[in-house]
Amino acid sequence: LYLAWISFITNDLRAVETWSHESIRLDGRGFGPHLLLGLVFERAGRWEEAVAEYSLAQSKADSEPRRELLQGRLDHCKMQIPEW
């Protein structure tokens, strides 16, 4: 997960996706990789994917402040999805 965060800081979004997926593969219990993927998808305007990742992160978050933060990101992304 540390490599994913370093990639995020250096704006290498493709590497963030790769390292986040690897982190999930090795230990899927944490919310961190899903948070990072949500941030990457949000930056790319991939709203539906961001919502999916933030939802997973929220379900795995270990504190109420983290869940509230993720709810804010979820609400923002959901508002960006055009209605059909």
* Per-residue pLDDT reduced to its tens digit, 6-42: 999 999 999 999 999 999 999 999 999 999 999 999 9
pLDDT for 46 beyond 70: yes
The pLDDT of 61-80, averaged and rounded, is 96
Residue 17 vs residues 5, 31, 42, 54, 84: alpha-carbon distances, Å: 10, 14, 12, 14, 28
**What is the predicted pLDDT for the residue at 69?**
94
Question: Considering the entire predicted model, what is its pTM?
Answer: 0.91
**What is the predicted pLDDT for the residue at 20?**
97
pLDDT for 84 beyond 70: no
CB distance 41 to 8 below 8 Å: no
Q: Cα(53)–Cα(74) distance, rounded to whole angstroms? A: 9
